[in-house]
Amino acid sequence: MAEIPLGLVSHARKVCSLYKQSLRNLENYYRLRHEYRYQAVLLRQRFEENRNILDARVAKQLLLDGQEELFQKLHAQPRQFPGSPGGICYERYAEAPDSVLDFWDPIEKAQYPKFFAKREELKKEYEKLYNKLYPEPSKETPKTT
């Protein structure tokens, strides 16, 4: 799950994010390593030129202009990492629930005796806890009409 920023994001962090997004966008356009590196150096030079601007209004406007330029130049089919949301392997393998182990054959369970012994103890503890939290209603409870 992605982290949701809960507080204010600093200007420096926004600039770093814009730089990283721009680099990822360059990766989409320039598949050959030497072409990508050349463009990445030029991009870094553009960021370094505006590094020492002290006026917050000018810096904010440059950031907004950079975000707009990135939006205008976004690749039509960006590359996605396989395990990322939208990638071909994202959530491909579902985790089996623990209850599947109850249906193992006794011969299979015999291969892991310590694990299944501990698992049976934990199941008994969970059952006791469940009965403590959710007691059975008594049978002598009067019916309401």
The pLDDT tens digits for 74-127 are 999 998 889 888 888 888 888 889 889 999 999 999 999 999 999 999 999 999
pLDDT digits (tens, 9 = 90+) for 9-63: 899 999 999 999 999 999 999 999 999 999 999 999 999 999 999 999 999 999 9
Same domain? 60 vs 109: no
Q: Which of 56, 73, 90 is the last residue in one of the domains?
A: 73
In-domain check, residue 21: yes
85 within domain boundaries: no
Q: Note whether 17 and 59 are same-domain residues.
A: yes
- Same domain, yes or no: 18 and 68: yes
44 vs 51: CA distance, rounded Å? 10
37 φ, ψ (degrees, to nearest 5): -65, -40
Cβ atoms within 10 Å of 22's Cβ, excluding its own: 21
Please indicate, yes or no, if residue 88 is contained in any of the structural domains.
no
Q: Does 116 reside within a domain?
A: yes
- Is 19 domain-assigned? yes
Inside any domain, residue 18: yes
Task: Give the total number of structural domains in the chain.
Answer: 2
Whole-number pLDDT of residue 138 = 77
Which range of residues forms the domain containing residue 127? 98-133
Residue 37 lies inside a defined structural domain of this protein: yes
* Same domain, residue pair 63 and 15: yes
Q: Residue-wise over 124-144: b if at least 16 C-beta within 10 A, else e? A: eeeeeeeeeeeeeeeeeeeee
Q: What is the pTM of this model?
A: 0.60
